[in-house]
Amino acid sequence: MESSSGPIAPNPVLAWLQSEGVRFRETAELVDALANELLRAGVDIHRLTFGVPILHPQFDSSGYLWQRGKAVKENRFKLDQEGIQNFQNSPMAIVYGGRSFRSRLEAPPQIGEFPILTDLRKEGVTDYVAHTLPFSDGSWKAVTYATRRPGGFPQDHIAVLESLAPMLATIVEVQTLHRTTLTLLDTYVGPSAGRRVRDGAIKRGMCEAIEAVIWFCDLRGFTELSEDLPGNELVSLLNDYFGAMTDAVERHGGEVLKFIGDAVLAIFPLSGKEAPLVAGGALVAAQEAEEAIHTLNEQRSRAAQPLIRFGLALHVGEVLYGNIGGARRLDFTVIGHAVNVATRIESLCKTLKRSILLSSEFAHLCGNTSEPLGRFPLKGVGTEQPVYALSADPTVLSRGGF
């Protein structure tokens, strides 16, 4: 095949895509490799992008941008009002509707042209092509190519780019499904537990004994709140509370395993780590969660909204970590005596007027950062257990969730 830019073998990039391209699991890696294969085949590209809608609790689509001489960059977009307007004022609205798009940018700008074309002209781009990627569900995704070559893409290069679309669509759809699976596991199970499930730990009773810090917190007065508040206000309060807790846990290496009504169960695994450092991280997380709730309550007070009151317990011990449940419906969680101790200590928060309580095992790991409050009977646990708190400072008490 001949062109004004020199010889190019018949579909060499398609042959590579069918043999090597199918092995890529990550879209960013595929984009980088594809761009370099196109360059090796003589297709003079300056810019290559993929646009793929994603199933994610915070974002609606993901875009990958390759530019010659730069690393691939991923951008995530949310289709809020601004995002929808930007989408509608771009070639993507055409491509996602099932039609390809091309603009020769050496021609003078046209009134009302897409903003992206103005930006590309400033980069010296001479030709911009966007192709549809047909997915099996009947939708279309997008791949775009841009060149700085004088005269734009020759027709034989356009033919090569067009020939890639069906195979690219197949590869990207598989990658998207894989990514969706990982996102759902991370969102609903947690990164660590999700990774175990993905790796095959899905048999009922498949558990292992691990040492971990157990975090258990509970919302105070939830029954009354659920009866008094409209549904949307109740959900907003729960999201504020859960958000403060989960953000703090994840920021310090913990993992939220489940929400039990208005309670949160999380763990900080000790395996292969220095126990005092892990416990210290969990303690800092608890303090940061308390501070976050305090800030939220200041905002809620100004808005005449109910305040968030909580109790939180930290304990350390051995738990069984794995799959428990029915034959076809499992829960990846932790169970054991240590979990029971954590829940019983948390139930003392209201009585002792503390938002954060610690078991003796946890307090000893953290060193001299706590004070003993006495020994207390824990229902179903057996003998009385010593319970600790962080501080007797009254300013701490005023922030408490008891």
CA atoms within 13 A on the CB side of 188: 12
Place of tokens 């034989």: 156
Same domain for 391 and 299: yes
Q: Please state the rounded mean pLDDT for residues 35-59.
A: 83
Same domain for 333 and 233: yes
> Is 42 a residue whose pLDDT tops 90?
yes
d(CA 385, CA 402): 20
The per-residue pLDDT for 347 is 92
Contact between 374 and 351 under an 8 Å Cβ cutoff? The reply is: no
Same domain for 219 and 154: no
Same domain for 357 and 298: yes
In a domain, residue 1? The reply is no
> Is 401 a residue whose pLDDT tops 70?
no
By mean pLDDT, which of 15-24, 45-54, 284-293 is the weakest? 45-54
d(CA 28, CA 221): 47
Contact between 344 and 254 under an 8 Å Cβ cutoff? The reply is: no
> Is 180 a residue whose pLDDT tops 50?
yes
In a domain, residue 5? The reply is no
The per-residue pLDDT for 394 is 41
In a domain, residue 177? The reply is yes
Same domain for 60 and 201: no
The Cβ of residue 76 has, within 10 Å, a number of other Cβ atoms equal to 12
Picking from 254, 308, 318, 291, the residue whose alpha carbon sits closest to that of residue 390 is 291
Burial of 223 (0-12, 13-18, 19+ CB in 10 A): exposed
Q: Average model confidence (pLDDT) for the chain?
A: 86
Find the domain containing 21 and state its range: 12-183
In a domain, residue 108? The reply is yes
d(CA 105, CA 268): 55
pLDDT-derived band at 396 (thresholds 50, 70, 90) equals: very low
CATH number of residue 333's parent domain: 3.30.70.1230
pLDDT, tens digit (0-9, with 9 covering 90-100), for 216-267: 999 988 888 888 888 889 999 999 999 999 999 999 999 999 898 899 999 9
The per-residue pLDDT for 189 is 72
The per-residue pLDDT for 8 is 47
Contact between 241 and 263 under an 8 Å Cβ cutoff? The reply is: no
The per-residue pLDDT for 203 is 67
In a domain, residue 4? The reply is no
CA 264 to the chain's CA centroid:
18
Q: Among 148, 183, 218, where does a domain finish?
A: 183
The Cβ of residue 402 has, within 10 Å, a number of other Cβ atoms equal to 17
In a domain, residue 113? The reply is yes
DSSP 141: E
Using CA of residue 238, residue 244, residue 245, residue 251, what is the dihedral sign?
positive
Contact between 268 and 252 under an 8 Å Cβ cutoff? The reply is: yes
Same domain for 92 and 30: yes
Same domain for 362 and 234: yes
pLDDT, tens digit (0-9, with 9 covering 90-100), for 308-364: 999 999 999 999 887 777 777 767 788 889 999 999 999 999 999 999 999 999 999
β-pairing, 356-359 vs 310-325, is parallel
Q: What is the pTM of this model?
A: 0.70
Same domain for 291 and 233: yes
d(CA 169, CA 138): 12
d(CA 152, CA 292): 55
- Please give the tally of structural domains in the chain: 2
Same domain for 363 and 296: yes
Contact between 253 and 268 under an 8 Å Cβ cutoff? The reply is: yes
Same domain for 75 and 217: no
In a domain, residue 277? The reply is yes
Same domain for 222 and 362: yes
Task: Name the more confident of 27 and 184.
Answer: 27
Q: Please state the rounded mean pLDDT for residues 55-78.
A: 79
Q: Among 148, 165, 183, where does a domain finish?
A: 183
Tell me which amino acid residue 271 is: S
Q: Among 136, 156, 183, where does a domain finish?
A: 183
Burial of 1 (0-12, 13-18, 19+ CB in 10 A): middle
CATH number of residue 102's parent domain: 3.30.450.40
Q: Which token pair is 283? A: 């303690």
d(CA 240, CA 335): 27
| Most confident option among 42-56, 81-95, 120-134, 311-325 | 120-134
Q: Please state the rounded mean pLDDT for residues 278-304.
A: 94
Picking from 336, 197, 220, 206, the residue whose alpha carbon sits closest to that of residue 267 is 336
> Is 400 a residue whose pLDDT tops 80?
no
Same domain for 369 and 284: yes
In a domain, residue 30? The reply is yes
pLDDT, tens digit (0-9, with 9 covering 90-100), for 99-113: 999 999 998 888 888
The per-residue pLDDT for 212 is 94
> Is 133 a residue whose pLDDT tops 70?
yes
